[in-house]
Structure 1
Amino acid sequence: MCTTRDLTGKMFTFPAESNTAHVVLVPPTQIRTLTAVTVCLRFFSDLTSRAQPLFSLTTRANIDNVFLIMKETNNNYNIWVNDMYVTFKAMEDIQNQWNSVCATWDSKTGLAQLWVNGKPSARKGVNRGRTISEEASIVLGQDQDSFGGGFNKGDSFEGMLTDVHMWDSVLSYSELALYMNRIPLTHNGNVINWESLDFTYEGYVIVEDQVSSMI
């Protein structure tokens, strides 16, 4: 059963490489059709030897990589939308420090953009005119290769995640800047809201206080 909690000041810790440890995030209402997306989160990790997923959304109709934020090596990131992806290079995240990441995509224009630690990427086009529809599975800690599963430990996340929000719109630059600077927004995520989060978790995942010296 889902637990609904205000996770302000908390984090999910994924202490080890695993093909089981994951968190399932449950929207307050079932996703029907998304024509735009913003996902924001913060992560802390020392892993540099391989790629790791920061956020994974799949649907029953289109299983793989419906909306996926994948941190690659060498400070590169991929944003996947309906099995196609664009790469954002040299985004300057920092090992062993909290990094703030926001990813946006708009179906009408096809434009995707990534923000890392206050700095925006170039805009790039991916899957213009497509939408995200049908029942969704949203997972932290793993890259879904099937609906809610298909996990591979070589694609798992190692570290800590916090302040996860998702909106069904593209946030303005001013709103993204507020998130980057840890200033409260006028409205939290309306699909996923860290301050009122429905979630379950399995495997080696710990919900714990953020350590102030890390922030």
Structure 2
Amino acid sequence: NKEITILLLLLSMLVFPQETNTAHVRLTPSRQNLGAVTVCMRYFSDLTRPFTFFGLATPSYNNDFHIFKMPARDEINVDVRNIVLNFKGQDYQLNRWQSVCGTWDAASGLVQLWVDGKPSSMKFSTESNISGPMIIVLGQDQDSYGGSFDSGRSFVGMISDVHMWDYVLPPHHINNYRRKFTFPPGNVLNWNLIEFQIVGKVLIQEEQHL
């Protein structure tokens, strides 16, 4: 059920085909200190309940950088160091590919969310760096460091093009990411070459071009 893989994922997607409290993809970046973060990913789902897009945990904080779909259709949370920020009026759609990006910078403490290249208001979170050994999980919500999953917050659908940077990606690069134009690949996580662990029923399929 478990495999460690290094793959060229440029034209691939991860399929999470069912609701479980086990199936996930785990990534362990070598960084142990981050003073800024940008995470971008593409997703396709028909979920109307809460779920986690992206979760980074350390031993100190289970939601050290966390993007979470709320029960209300137009609300998405971004958590940094377990500080929760709620963003309303987000254009979450069923059964279509969308992009979501979240940014945070310790220098200002500001967090911003981008859905399909559209920015949210900037909100203050924390000026404290993310520090400690990091576990990133796709497909499940970490209620503890690397575990305590709940099927009611699992992701069901497809995920692709996951990138993570240790700086705030400028708006024109976020727009290029959305449009699949040229952008600098992530320097913390790079979808083009990524090491990860699959646990449970998660499949790698060729990306669909529709």
Establish whether TM, by shorter chain, passes 0.5.
yes
Equivalents in 2 of 1:84, 1:164: separation in Å?
23
Superposition deviation, residue 8 in structure 1:
1.1
Cα deviations across residues 150-195 of structure 1 (Å, max 9, x unaligned)?
Answer: 111011001110000000000111111111111121x200000000
Name 1:204's counterpart in structure 2.
201
Name 1:179's counterpart in structure 2.
177
Could you list the runs of 5+ residues in structure 1 that have no partner in the other structure? none
Equivalents in 1 of 2:123, 2:97: separation in Å?
26
Name 2:157's counterpart in structure 1.
159
Name 2:41's counterpart in structure 1.
41
SS at match of 1:195: coil
Pairing of 1:121-160 with structure 2 (within 5 A):
121-127=120-126, 129-160=127-158
Cα deviations across residues 107-152 of structure 1 (Å, max 9, x unaligned)?
Answer: 111100011012111111112x211001000110011112211111
Name 2:26's counterpart in structure 1.
24
- Which amino acid in 2 is paired with 1:103? G
Answer yes or no: is the 8 Å Cα contact 2:73–2:92 preserved in 1: no
Superposition deviation, residue 54 in structure 1:
0.5
SS at match of 1:135: coil
Equivalents in 1 of 2:33, 2:84: separation in Å?
20
SS at match of 1:175: helix
Superposition deviation, residue 77 in structure 1:
0.5
CA RMSD of aligned residues (A): 1.0
- When the two structures are aligned, how many residues end up with a matched partner? 207
| Runs of 4+ off more than 4 Å | none
SS at match of 2:192: helix
Name 1:83's counterpart in structure 2.
82
Equivalents in 2 of 1:109, 1:68: separation in Å?
18
- Which amino acid in 1 is paired with 2:124? G
Answer yes or no: is the 8 Å Cα contact 1:54–1:157 preserved in 2: yes
Equivalents in 2 of 1:195, 1:149: separation in Å?
26
Name 2:113's counterpart in structure 1.
114
Tell me whether 154-163 or 204-213 shows the greater mean CA deviation. 204-213
Superposition deviation, residue 105 in structure 1:
0.4
- Which amino acid in 2 is paired with 1:178? N
Could you list the runs of 5+ residues in structure 2 that have no partner in the other structure? none
Equivalents in 1 of 2:100, 2:123: separation in Å?
17
Equivalents in 2 of 1:145, 1:107: separation in Å?
24
- Which amino acid in 1 is paired with 2:22? T
SS at match of 1:91: coil
Cα deviations across residues 60-91 of structure 1 (Å, max 9, x unaligned)?
Answer: 2x132111000123121000011111111111
